[in-house]
């Protein structure tokens, strides 16, 4: 039976979208990747043949594209698609683990490389997920030698656009002073309030110098 002849709720692609990839068997997931079958064989039939040809899923994951071409119905486009998908998985697994922010000291370590040694004040935003893994860190503003703005709306927008659930901010004092200004103190309060309003977790606001750091607490 062709995949398109199945009831819509039983088709692999539709089930993946409604129930998630974990609900699909190996051959169904591969059928979604292949996209189509050939000469009366459905995409799921072809997927089963490809897995059988490679021995098992691990064999498929490490197969060169030209090996897949030996399966009738698998042309260069399908072989390249499958090989590329598994190679992307291997690249993702080989990437170093993301830095995590589980304490104020962790936040200081993440922002310091972007702030130390600069003659102008910078504001850095660090975006994290629910487990504290750093999704993004960015220099949001850069001002003069003794001041930079903290645009509350832009900070929150940057966090939401990065799909974060928590964030911290830091700025440097090129003068070497760790004493927060009145603006620093006020900005911390506004950030905490804005984060609470949109359901984000505000981690901290730090002042960074070339040798030390300090929390800004209103």
Superfamily of domain 104-215: Cytidine Deaminase, domain 2 (3.40.140.10)
Domain extent listing, the chain: 3-94, 104-215
What is the distance between the alpha carbons of residues 205 and 169, in angstroms, rounded to a whole number? Answer: 5
The CATH topology of domain 3-94 is: DNA polymerase; domain 1 (1.10.150)
Tell me the mean pLDDT per 10 residues along the chain, length 218. 63 85 90 87 90 92 91 93 90 75 95 92 95 94 78 95 96 93 94 96 96 92
C-alpha distances (whole Å) from 137 to each of 24, 107, 150, 169, 177 are 36, 11, 15, 9, 24
- Backbone angles phi and psi of 168, in degrees to 5: -135, 160
pLDDT at position 29 is 93
């Amino acid at each position: 039976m062709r995949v398109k002849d199945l009831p819509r709720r039983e088709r692999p692609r539709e089930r993946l979208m409604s129930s998630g990839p974990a609900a699909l068997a190996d051959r169904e997931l591969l059928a979604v990747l292949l996209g189509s079958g050939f000469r009366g064989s459905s995409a799921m039939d072809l997927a089963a043949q490809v897995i059988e040809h490679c021995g098992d899923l691990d064999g498929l994951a490490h197969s060169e594209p030209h090996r897949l071409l030996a399966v009738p119905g698998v042309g260069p486009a399908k072989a390249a698609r499958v090989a590329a998908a598994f190679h992307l998985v291997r690249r993702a697994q080989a990437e170093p683990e993301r830095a995590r922010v589980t304490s104020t000291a962790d936040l200081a370590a993440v922002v310091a490389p972007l702030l130390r040694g600069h003659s102008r004040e910078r504001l850095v935003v660090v975006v994290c997920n629910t487990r504290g893994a750093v999704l993004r860190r960015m220099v949001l503003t850069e001002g003069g030698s003794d001041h930079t703005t903290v645009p509350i709306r832009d900070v929150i927008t940057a966090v939401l656009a990065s799909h974060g659930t928590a964030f911290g901010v830091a700025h440097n004092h090129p003068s070497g002073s760790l004493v927060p200004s009145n603006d620093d103190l006020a900005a911390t309060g506004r950030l905490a309030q804005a984060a609470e309003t949109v359901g984000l977790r505000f981690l901290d606001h730090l002042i960074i110098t070339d040798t030390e750091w300090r929390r800004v607490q209103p």
